[in-house]
Structure 1
Amino acid sequence: MTHVTYIEADGREQTLDIQEGWSLLQAAFAHGISGLIGECGGACSCGTCHCYVQQDRLQELPPPSAGELEMLEFVASERRDNSRLACQIRAASHLEGLVVHLPDTQT
Structure 2
Amino acid sequence: MAKITYVEHNGTKHEVDVANGLTVMEGARDNNIPGIEADCGGACACSTCHVYVDGAWTDKLPPKDAMEEDMLDFAWEPDADRSRLTCQLKVTDELDGLVVQMPEKQI
TM superposition score normalised by structure 1: 0.96
C-alpha separation between the residues in 2 aligned to 1:85 and 1:7? 15
Quote the residue 2:21 is aligned against.
Answer: 21
Q: Which runs of 5+ in 2 are unaligned?
A: none
Question: Deviating runs (4+, > 2 A) in structure 1?
Answer: none
The answer to whether structure 1 residue 82 and structure 2 residue 76 are counterparts is no
Please show how residues 22-41 of structure 1 align to structure 2 within 5 Å: 22-41=22-41
TM superposition score normalised by structure 2: 0.96
Shift of 1:57: 1.2
Q: Which runs of 5+ in 1 are unaligned?
A: none
Between the two proteins, what is the percent identity of the paired residues? 41
C-alpha separation between the residues in 1 aligned to 2:91 and 2:4? 8
Counterpart of 2:58 in 1: which secondary structure? Answer: helix
Aligned-pair RMSD on alpha carbons? Answer: 0.7
Shift of 1:91: 1.1
